[in-house]
Structure 1
Amino acid sequence: MRRGIAAAVLAAAIAVSASACGSSGGSTSSGAKASGPVTITWWDTSDATNEAPTYQALVADFEKANPDITVKYVNVPFADAQTKFQTAAGSKGAPDVLRSDVGWTPGFAKAGYLVPLDGTPAAADTSTFEKQLVTQATFQGKLYGVPLVTDTLGLMYNKSLFTKAGIAKAPTTWDELKADAALLKQKAGVDGFDFNAASYYAMPFLYGESTDMVDAAGQKITINSPAAVKGIDTLKGVLASPGVTKLDTTANAYANMMDKFNSGKVAMIIQGPWETTNVYKGAAFSDKTNLGIAAVPAGSTGKSGAPIGGHNLVAYAGSDAAHQAASEKFIAFMTSAQSQTTIATKNATLPTRSDAYTPAVTANPGIAGFQTILTAGVPRPALAEYSSIYGLFNTELLKILANQESTQTGLNNASIATKKLLPSFATQ
């Protein structure tokens, strides 16, 4: 995920349609085996400037190791990729392999666009991957993706400002964060905390009360439960506290928050590892060791939790057998320990398998910091409609935080909208 994360998680639901069939652009007729060399198409959704060159270099390495397989590399803007793949799959013209956001994978699988990878070369090493990431790539008991990169939210903080305010360690509860924010304002002369008002960033307040937007296993809508109300009321209390930046709801809110943090005008934010490279470019973090990374504060249950994001490599079900076999080899190569180590060192993203956290990778303090808090990450339920609920939640969250409606009323409205997506789910 990158700066477009809010737009990505708030995108409309993937239309659940009949299973796709046929062949991809480089395939022979469905079910037939290609004679001779095979060309597969890969849609990479990484940042075209900062990340894509690393993936292109790995593609070249794969082709050298597999001379009978050619990979047609296509970089597709992340913001457009979900809709483009859905359209292409529906018209039997999707790429053989896609770098899919973890939130898209269940919907594509439910629509029949993806082939299960269980028992294939692509899934040979899954025991070395972080368990919750494999869970997040699974739909109805089958593995539909292999985790390529991962991320989660953490508390980023400015260590020198903490020292100036006499604060020895990162807050572990929201009450501690409020107290620290007030001290930072009083003693360091800066705002203690700034918040990106988007539903994805509000999830730690729900997880801290041991709840989620839905209970997928129990088929219940929980976005307006007493625990959820308590979580969002906690968020409101944080935002109303001394030393906390006034809520910014402008179109530039995200960029404004990052500019203030990077320049040392704000001491704490909730953020993910995709921003560490940009943070290190800021005046306040020319010394990388000044960036502190900790788990998000815990709620009243004593639990700390943050959503797990990232990307899986998935294979198109409409490709023929030869192209699917080549795709499986390609996915295995790209998600290998060696490839993930290369990706992490070049792109400063988090690997998804434990054996890729080499000394060279963890020499990056941002990666090392986020690695320690991955265990607090909460995988998304294997529910095709889940990503769309972020948008319904976000609409009401903004009204709640702007005091245009009460927490209970806003979350009730989100529940009503969610019921239309999940008519078989029970409501509170």
Structure 2
Amino acid sequence: MEFSRRAFLAGTSALAAPLLLAKCGFVGGGGGSSSDDADTLTFTTWGTDAELAGFRAAIAAFGEANPGQTVELNAVPYEQMFTNIDAQLQAGNPPDLFRVPYYTFGAYAGQGQLLDLGPYLSADTQDRFTPAAWAAVQNEGSPFGLPHHTDTSAVLYNRDLLTSAGITTVPETAEEAWTWEELTGVAQQLRSALPADRYPFAYNWQGNGVTRWLSLLFQADGAFLDTDQRTPLIDSDAGRAAVEFSSSFFSNGFVPANNTTTSASYASEAWFGGTAAMVWSGAFQIPDAETTADFEWGATFAPRNVRGGSDFGGNALVATAQTAKPELAAAFLEFVTERDLMADFCRSASLLPTRADLQGDALTFDVRPELAPVFAGQAATVEPEDAAQVASPFMSGIIPVLQDQLDQAFLGSQDAAAAVTAMAAGIADATR
């Protein structure tokens, strides 16, 4: 079955008739699983210090704009976040609002646990966001969240290690990004120059980050799911090419042997420790790199093949289906994604905005602002259909399939053809 971009874009453009809301004067429902106060929302999230400060600032601004209406923020460690949310959903007492990664969003929406925002959003809400961001919060043609920010993987490099290997220039635009063949040449040059215990690069596909491997599949102009978000398409020439290319990282000694998808060590550790000359990384690591890296470093673009491609990371903000205050919840989600609030949040946290009017030159970072165009340019290579696939309701079952079959290919126990055939079978089982 061929993957149809046109069919996808047509399918996600139709929304339920929206209801225009004023910014004040809501009458919320009483009781229910959230706060008993009709003018108070509960919001659970994790976050860095900068992210939590951004949420608190947005909540304060919402209260000033809407006297008497408040949002109670519950900040928890990421490790506890979804164990808590799942237990609360099961018990019938979830928060009104929570934050969720795009690769997890689909599971909640598909199980009917999120509020369909279509009837509550302003008529122009969709126009705020990039097509890829809007696609990432769709379920059966309706929005079940708002895309708050994204992140994507470009390549951080150790300037000293590259220079010592004779590599003195890196691509400065997404269009000039190294092709797969050129990246292989750069890696071979580094491999020849580096000692045996250092490596050309490390890839950040550990754990649930295995979805970042899909960037290579997209670069080969492939897909792993059809527009129904369940039919596997990965058993293809593009799928085999992506597995062959990524497996060559191991067979050529370009990455540490433990740089598998199920490794207990994250790829960034090798780069920060000086073991890898380059690492695929999100912009969120810029503040840490600036304060802890003891070498000169910069950022360049991830490679391209048939086309550019990258992962659509980051998080959406959602309301639970059990909220007794759907209008107030939708109003807060619209408020927190307004231009100035999103710009402030992303600038301080080194994250990428999802609003169309904050792309390109409109994006800045507080730390290493000259790197913002690299990550913005990388994010622009994400197609809407790429983001939509990762929002599948079945991702929790697909992720372990990808991990298992990729690691077998990486470690040499199966070839690319066998890997994509097994992936297709595993995805079909996971999406039944």
One of 318, 325, 328 as aligned partner of 1:326: 328
How far 1:349 sits from its partner (Å)?
Answer: 1.4
Structure 2 vs 1, CA of residues 265 and 63 (structure 1 numbering), >3 Å: closer, same or farther? Answer: same
Between stretches 328-337 and 205-214, larger displacement belongs to: 205-214
Shift of residue 192 of structure 1? Answer: 1.9
Partner of 2:21: none
Q: CA deviation at 1:73?
A: 0.9
Partner of 1:266: 276
1:297 aligns with 2:303: yes
Cα displacement (A) at 1:384: 0.6
Equivalent residue runs for 1:175-194 within 5 Å: 175-187=181-193, 191-194=199-202
Deviations 1:156-176 (CA, angstroms, capped at 9, x unpaired): 223454344333224522221
1:399 equivalent in structure 2: 408
Aligned-pair CA distance for 1:188: 6.4
Indicate the residue corresponding to 1:55 in structure 2: 55
2: CA distance, partners of 1:51 / 1:244: 32
Amino acid at match of 1:194: A
Cα deviation code 1:128-172 (max 9, x no counterpart): 311110011111111111111101222222345434433322452
Question: 5 Å matches for 1:370-409?
Answer: 370-377=375-382, 378-381=386-389, 382-409=391-418
What are the within-5 Å matches in structure 2 for residues 82-97 of structure 1?
82-97=82-97
Root mean square deviation of aligned Cα: 2.9
The corresponding residue for 2:430 is 421
Identify which of 357, 371, 377 aligns with 1:355: 357
SS in 2 for 1:64: helix
Q: CA deviation at 1:207?
A: 1.6
Which secondary structure does the structure 2 equivalent of 1:318 belong to?
A: coil
1:39 and 2:48 matched: no
- Aligned residue in 2 for 1:14: none
* In structure 2, distance between residues paired with 1:44 and 1:402: 37
User: What 5-or-longer segments of structure 2 have no aligned partner?
Assistant: 1-27, 172-176
Q: Report the alpha carbon displacement of residue 340 of structure 1 after superposing the two structures with TM.
A: 0.9
**Cα deviation digits, residues 52-73 of structure 1 (max 9, x gap):** 2332232223223222112111
1:355 and 1:160, CA in 2 relative to 1: closer, same or farther beyond 3 A? farther
> Does structure 1 residue 173 correspond to structure 2 residue 179?
yes
Q: What is the TM-score of this pair, normalised by structure 1?
A: 0.80
CA distance in 1, matches of 2:205, 2:105: 25
Paired amino acid for 1:207: F
Shift of residue 200 of structure 1? Answer: 2.2
Question: In the alignment, is the contact (CA less than 8 A) between 2:363 and 2:376 conserved in 1?
Answer: no
Quote the Cα distance in structure 1 between the aligned partners of 2:393 and 2:104.
Answer: 8
How big is the shift at 1:111? 1.9
Report the alpha carbon displacement of residue 181 of structure 1 after superposing the two structures with TM: 1.6
Does structure 1 conserve the Cα–Cα contact (< 8 Å) formed by 2:138 and 2:388? no
Is residue 232 of structure 1 aligned with residue 240 of structure 2?
no
CA contact (8 A) 1:264 1:284 kept: no
Seen in structure 2, the aligned counterparts of structure 1 residues 351 and 258 have a Cα distance that, compared at 3 Å, is: same
Q: What displacement does 1:344 show?
A: 1.6
Structure 1 distance, partners of 2:143, 2:212, is 27
Looking at structure 2, the residues matched to 225 and 138 of structure 1 have their Cα atoms a distance apart, in angstroms, of 26
Which consecutive residues of structure 1, in runs of 5 or more, have no partner in the other structure?
A: 1-25, 424-428
Cα displacement (A) at 1:335: 0.9
Residue 68 of structure 1 corresponds to 68
Displacement of 1:29 after TM fit? 4.0
Percent sequence identity over aligned pairs: 21
Shift of 1:314: 1.2
* Distance (whole Å) between structure 2 residues aligned to residue 114 and residue 272 of structure 1: 27
Contact preservation (8 Å) 2:191, 2:200? yes
Provide the secondary structure at the position in 2 that maps to 1:40. strand
- Of 369, 373, 385, which residue of structure 2 is paired with 1:368? 373
Cα gap change, 1:111 to 1:187, in 2 (>3 Å): closer
Distance 2:100 2:106 in 1: 10
User: Which residue of structure 1 lines up, in the alignment, with residue 312 of structure 2?
Assistant: 308
Change in Cα spacing, 1:316 to 1:62, as seen in structure 2 (3 Å) is same
Q: Output the CA distance in 2 between the equivalents of 1:80 and 1:380.
A: 27
* Distance in 2 (alpha carbons) for counterparts of 1:101 and 1:283: 27
Deviation of 1:232 (Å): 0.5
Measure, in 2, the Cα distance between the counterparts of 1:135 and 1:164.
43
1:79 CA drift (Å): 3.7
- Per the TM alignment, residue 417 of structure 1 is displaced from its structure 2 partner at its CA by 2.6
Deviation, 1:291, is: 0.8
* Stretch deviating more after TM superposition (332-341 or 240-249): 240-249
1:175-215 per-position Cα deviation (integer Å, ceiling 9, x unaligned): 21121122234456653222345432321222222223222
Q: Residue 181 of structure 1 contacts residue 244 of structure 1 at CA under 8 Å; is this kept in 2? A: no
The AA in structure 1 aligned to 2:404 is T
- Matched letter for residue 293 of structure 1: T
Q: Distance in 2 between matches of 1:141 and 1:258?
A: 37
1:240 and 1:183 mapped to 2: Cα distance? 16
User: Match for 1:192: what amino acid?
Assistant: P
Query: Take 2:285 and 2:268, find their aligned partners in 1: how far apart are those partners?
Result: 9
